[in-house]
Chains A and B, each alone.
Chain A
Amino acid sequence: MGITVVDVTKKFEGFVALEDVSVVIPEGSLTALLGPSGSGKSTLLRVIAGLEEPDRGQVLLGDVDVTHRPARARGVGMVFQHYAAFKHMTVWENVAFGLRIRKRPRAEIAKRVHELLELVQLEGLAKRYPAQLSGGQRQRMALARALAVDPEVLLLDEPFGALDARVRKELRAWLLRLHDEVHVTTIIVTHDQEEAMEVAGQIVLLSHGRVEQVGTPRELYESPASEFVMSFVGPVNRIGDTFVRPRDLTLELAPDGDAREAMVERVVHLGFEVRVELVREDGQHLLAQLTQEEAEALGLERGLIVYVRPSRETVFTR
């Protein structure tokens, strides 16, 4: 089911968390709400879930206005950053919770919980308590619990934020596969632009309670609408009023037309990618990204003088 947010404003004791936010989230999509902390992304998710009521504006699920409907009647599944596991219940009871309070027949509950535990690969741990699980296992349990009630939309609030980098990567890949299988409209809140770009088909970038840009990861990277977007979705060099991605800097050994002289300060090898820190003769620091082959061809090393030219640059009109 698609989600439409119209002109939503939400204030907390003088602090404006959301200001006239309008977003359309297509049915079946996986959308990321991306932004730095305090940008309002979690508040927006909680407004959609029904856990916060907006001061102004509307929330529509499909074409039904649910603005004043309590969370329990919205048919959303939610996953929280710190798992929100029911500590006094086993994994099985956690997943069965939504079905049990709906008073579904026992056999149906048993079958559904079994299916879900299989889906999240926790079949063997049904009788364990949350305290006996790892962070990644707890979060998969929370996902199964949210999916148990067949939600119209799935809302994930920084779901991998409390996990270590390796588990986070695994779960991201797993979430993508899950979304391909289940196809439920999903929103994931994250402050990590790499995470958003990796999992989401659409990104809503927020800053200070406002929508900065909505688009595919590629659109945000290739044609950012503002300085903020440009610098948030990837590394960037700022030279006066122009912005250049490190990938768009061309390095040459011989002077060539408008190329500027610069000295290599540091070369960082990250496998296939090589990052080069440069300082221009006027003191401007630059970051360049090259492939390993390119770096080797140039014979880059500390102290080498090169000639730098942006192959593509962006200027924002104010």
Chain B
Amino acid sequence: MIGKWALRLGALGYLAFLLLVPVGLVFYRTFEHSFHPAWAAVTNPQALHALWLTLLIAAIAVPLNTLFGVTLAIALVRHRFPGRELVNAIVDLPLALSPVVVGLSLYLLYGTSGWLSGLADHGIKILFALPGMILATIFVSLPFVVREVVPVLREIGTDQEQAAETLGAAPLTVFRRITLPAIRWAVCYGVVLTTARAIGEFGAVSIVSGRIEGKTETLPLYVQSQFEGFNTTGAFAASVVLALIAATTVMAMRLFRPKGEA
């Protein structure tokens, strides 16, 4: 009995000390001097542009990674091809690799002396511009849809798809009417995780964006720049916006999580 309570207290205390207190403190400090300074700090043009840019990048990266993730998951589970195991391992790379390294590698590839530096000569600007930031975000948020969909595809097996095939369904019909409905919750869950990762991304985007105020500054970068400029109200207020987006995402996750899972 005591052991059970100690376990619960331990878990809750750990969470409170490491997560709730710091995040709560950010909320407290933001609204310490009434609501108005905080509101002003997040509605100035620079902050609004950062928010808009963050959402824009997510709006491009998430659908692309969803499409790619579902396709790759089907390829990995349903097909045998040379290098399958390698691809399977590479998908997890962004989870293990520090985002700063991702940013640096993109910098090396598209930078002034990089292999693909020639693109800039043709007027295609990747580095210090939106395309580079989108590429970095896609890279770091790539594994989530694949990792959510693969086990579900394995579990449902091929029986239903084959039954549909014998009933006259063409491959696209089988996907639309059978496979997709069966994996839809896994896809939703993967999308939520991808979105959370895309919106919160700092390290990789920080390097490839060049951090040009009002141009290539996302919300996490804005928080950092305000903090460095001793505008703590601005930094805290923007953090609260990010925290609220995160909270919404976590709620969505709970909604999509299959019943019976912790």
Contact = CB atoms under 8 A, between A and B. Distances in A.
Interface of A: 49-51, 70-74, 76-78, 80, 82-88, 97-98, 101-102, 142, 145-146, 148-149, 155
Interface residues of B, number: 16
Contacts, number: 62
B159 A149 contact: no
A98 B169 CA distance: 8
Given A101-B173, A101-B177, A87 B166 contact: no
Interface in B147-163: 159-160, 162-163
B166 A101 contact: no
B182 A51 contact: no
Contacts of B181: 88
B167 A70 contact: no
Most-contacted residue by chain B among A51, A70, A85, A101 (CB, 10 A):
A101
Contacts of B167: 72, 77, 97-98, 101, 145-146, 148-149
Given A87-B182, A88-B181, A101-B177, A70 B165 contact: yes
14 contacts: A51-B166, A72-B165, A73-B168, A76-B166, A77-B166, A78-B163, A80-B162, A88-B182, A97-B164, A101-B177, A145-B163, A145-B167, A149-B168, A155-B166
Interface residues of chain B: helix, strand, loop or mixed (majority): helix
Most-contacted residue by chain A among B162, B168, B170, B181 (CB, 10 A):
B168
Given A51-B166, A98-B168, A82 B159 contact: yes
A79 B164 CA distance: 11
A162 to B, nearest CB: 12
Given A85-B160, A101-B169, 5 more contacts: A78-B166, A84-B162, A86-B178, A98-B167, A145-B163
Contacts of A155: 166
Interface string B179-199: 001100000000000000000
Q: Which 3 A-B pairs rank lowest in CB-CB distance, beginning with the nearest?
A: A84-B159, A98-B167, A84-B163
Nearest to B162: A51
B165 A51 contact: yes
